[in-house]
Chain A
Amino acid sequence: QKEVEQDPGPLSVPEGAIVSLNCTYSNSAFQYFMWYRQYSRKGPELLMYTYSSGNKEDGRFTAQVDKSSKYISLFIRDSQPSDSATYLCAANNNDMRFGAGTRLTVKP
């Protein structure tokens, strides 16, 4: 069993939709959680960085962590074609683990 599980998709939504991306993890020691966005032929870019449980909002992006269920979510409001990319979740406790990434396409 992988320590961080993520549905690879692909996920296709119309422009303006609310997107929900999710991961689960198995190691309860994880305290720090991240979301990265990776465009084709580019390196992963840090989007959101959260500690422990709760929500964090940045513009159209909201990261949510539920440690009781070991569930990590990223919500994208008013999705745009420029949001089309692969989104990777990650969990860290002195040892970072990545999900496999979900490929998102936002259609105009």
Chain B
Amino acid sequence: NAGVMQNPRHLVRRRGQEARLRCSPMKGHSHVYWYRQLPEEGLKFMVYLQKENIIDESGMPKERFSAEFPKEGPSILRIQQVVRGDSAAYFCASSPGTGNSPLHFGNGTRLTVT
């Protein structure tokens, strides 16, 4: 049973380019969460999605960031016109969504903006 799969593991972008991060949840999980982690800091919630719906995007910056979880395919976190401050590790987590099930995390995408 494959875990949460994220790709790419490492992504380098120049300032102003777009970054697309992909996440395939665990089998049977229909809820996806995105978190950002800076060095020596904790996990910062960004967005919570179910299939075709954004449930909570209270942690997403108002501009340049968007997320989707289509009916078919992985969840995508998209960052437009990246800046150096976007450099971080981005983690995706999934859950079956029943009650207060714990989250299961992928190994993250490390974004470096040069």
A and B assemble together? yes
Residue-wise, chain A 10-51 has the 8 Å CB interface mask toward B (1 for contact) of 000000000000000000000110101000011111100100
* A42 partner, pick from B45, B102, B103, B107, beta carbons under 8 A: B107
| A44 close to B43 (CB less than 8 A) | yes
Residue of B nearest to A4 (CB): B42
> Looking at chain A's contact residues, is the secondary structure mostly helix, strand, loop, or mixed?
loop
Task: Tell me if B72 counts as interface (CB < 8 A to partner A).
Answer: no
CA of A41 to CA of B110, assembled, Å: 9
CA of A31 to CA of B102, assembled, Å: 12
**From residue B36, how far is it (CB to closest CB) to chain A in Å?**
12
> Looking at chain B's contact residues, is the secondary structure mostly helix, strand, loop, or mixed?
loop
**From residue A17, how far is it (CB to closest CB) to chain B in Å?**
24
Tell me the residues in window 74-108 of chain A with beta carbons closer than 8 Å to chain B beta carbons.
88, 92-94, 96, 98-101
Chain A residues bordering chain B, tally (CB within 8 A): 22
How many residue pairs, one in A and one in B, have C-beta atoms under 8 Å apart?
41
Which bucket holds chain B's interface residue count? Answer: 10 to 19
**From residue A93, how far is it (CB to closest CB) to chain B in Å?**
7
| A92 close to B42 (CB less than 8 A) | no
- Chain A residues with Cβ below 8 Å from B103 are 46, 96
| B100 close to A31 (CB less than 8 A) | yes
- Chain B residues with Cβ below 8 Å from A49 are 102
Task: Tell me if B21 counts as interface (CB < 8 A to partner A).
Answer: no
- Chain A residues with Cβ below 8 Å from B107 are 41-43
